[in-house]
Amino acid sequence: MSVASLDVESVRRDFPILSHCMRGQPLVYLDSASSAQKPRAVLDAMDELYTQGYANVHRGLYELAEWATSHYEGVRDKVARFIGAADPREIVFVRNVTEGINLVAHSFVRERLGSGDEILISAMEHHANIVPWQILCEQAGAQLRVAPIDDRGEILVEEFEKLLSPRTRLVALAHVSNVLGTVNPIRELIALAREREIPILIDGAQGVPHLPVDVQELGCDFYGFTGHKLFGPTGVGVIWGRLPLLDAMPPYQSGGDMIESVRFEKTTFAPPPHKFEAGTPNIAGVIGLGAAIDYVNGLGIRNIAAWEHGLLEYATEALESIGKLRIYGKAKNKAAVLSFALDGVHPHDIGTVLDQEGVAIRAGHHCAQPLMERFGVSAMARASLSIYNTRDDVDRLVRALHKTLELFG
């Protein structure tokens, strides 16, 4: 399927919510960086599980349980192929990237972190890739180091390299900034860390929905993403890790389904990935994630990326034509995310006015308060584009922004 032949109107029909109105007008949904809408294929797959094939997984020997387990584990294989993992056992199902990062923090990093050690992140990280490391550093007497970014929203690679030291125990970076849209040069940054034998984790929450990902080719040690930003359901995500690392890591949580044997005297644990998946999992969520991956593969991730890039160029030019509007994040390589401000108008007021016009955007600190501080603001408005958006959506956004300026003078 080529981009030129991509039938976006057909794609839009795949998403039932886009046929609804908001405030009496057709919905323009521009908040996919927060959570993407769901195609019918995902909704149908989850409905089929609950109405025709539901049972708990990894437990029963009856037909329903075997069917559910087979399909659940089939998604693990599908995820492995989708991100280029060497082995499905490297795919750990979690609730979201946040849980995946915490798993790595407590099961991998904690025992390697001591007084005077360091963890290196960047100035554009989501709170999910800041707070777990802060807590860990405080407990261990370690230091959280922050690689700076320039005014375009790009990591200063030379400064990043200078911060890598013999005391660095982990590097944790976003693949794509949820605020600025910056696509970080992670291959280069990973290579710099690996030269020094420093483990590196990539937060791919904003990367996987927009870009082809091959974790083996990237060379990182851990990579996480979440289902709901990839047109899948909430409550399910993935943390990928190299199998030798996962094999050596202790469990993060304990309980049913992560054991090999339990005695009052001693418990032995299942091998990865199951030793990290305690309790009954989000079965329908995993099935929905598998359907979302099928949907993305059907469209082609490169086609999605190309469509979104074209929209980004169109939207950037359109927003730059609006007086008193400033765009934050002008990296040379960026995803379809536009964060901006209007002089004299609070971002929350922008969001409220746009809502009255049927245009849904995000307004706030976007779970990135240190980044807001870097740019000297408390909040930004953000429009994030996806495969179901069109130039007409962008035009609606622009008209609503002009109305906002009229209202606030």
Q: Convert the pLDDT of each residue in 351-393 to its tens digit.
A: 999 999 999 999 999 999 999 999 999 999 999 999 999 999 9
Task: Tell me the pairing of strands 359-360 and 362-364.
Answer: unpaired
Q: What's the pLDDT score for residue 1?
A: 43
- Least Cα distance to 79 among 100, 109, 110, 106 occurs for 100
8-30+300-408 and 43-298 in the same fold: no
Q: What's the pLDDT score for residue 343?
A: 95
Rounded CA gap, 373 and 397, in Å?
26
Average pLDDT, rounded, for the chain? 96
Is 367 labeled as catalytic in the residue annotation? Answer: yes
Instruction: Write down the domain spans for the chain.
Output: 8-30+300-408, 43-298
**Share of residues in the chain with pLDDT > 90 (%):** 96
Q: How confident is the model at residue 168 (pLDDT cuts 50, 70, 90)?
A: very high
Q: What's the pLDDT score for residue 6?
A: 74
Query: Which numeric CATH code is attached to 43-298?
Result: 3.40.640.10
Asked whether residue 52 carries a pLDDT value surpassing 70, the answer given is: yes
Span 248-299, pLDDT tens digits: 999 999 999 999 999 999 999 999 999 999 999 999 999 999 999 999 999 9
Cβ–Cβ < 8 Å for 297, 231: no
Q: How confident is the model at residue 67 (pLDDT cuts 50, 70, 90)?
A: very high
Asked whether residue 3 carries a pLDDT value surpassing 50, the answer given is: no
State the catalytic residue, choosing from 21, 137, 220, 367: 367
Q: What's the pLDDT score for residue 197?
A: 97
Asked whether residue 2 carries a pLDDT value surpassing 80, the answer given is: no
Q: Judge residue 12's burial from the number of C-beta atoms within 10 Å of its C-beta, 0-12 exposed, 13-18 middle, 19 or more buried.
A: middle
Tokens of 54: 């539901």
Predicted model pTM: 0.96
Q: How confident is the model at residue 5 (pLDDT cuts 50, 70, 90)?
A: low
The size of the chain, in residues, is 409
Q: What's the pLDDT score for residue 180?
A: 98
Mean pLDDT of 171-177: 98
Q: Which CATH architecture has domain 8-30+300-408?
A: Alpha-Beta Complex (3.90)
Rounded CA gap, 238 and 77, in Å?
12
Q: How confident is the model at residue 4 (pLDDT cuts 50, 70, 90)?
A: very low
Q: Which residues contact 302 (CB under 8 A, 6 or more apart)?
A: 212
- Least Cα distance to 259 among 279, 240, 243, 239 occurs for 279
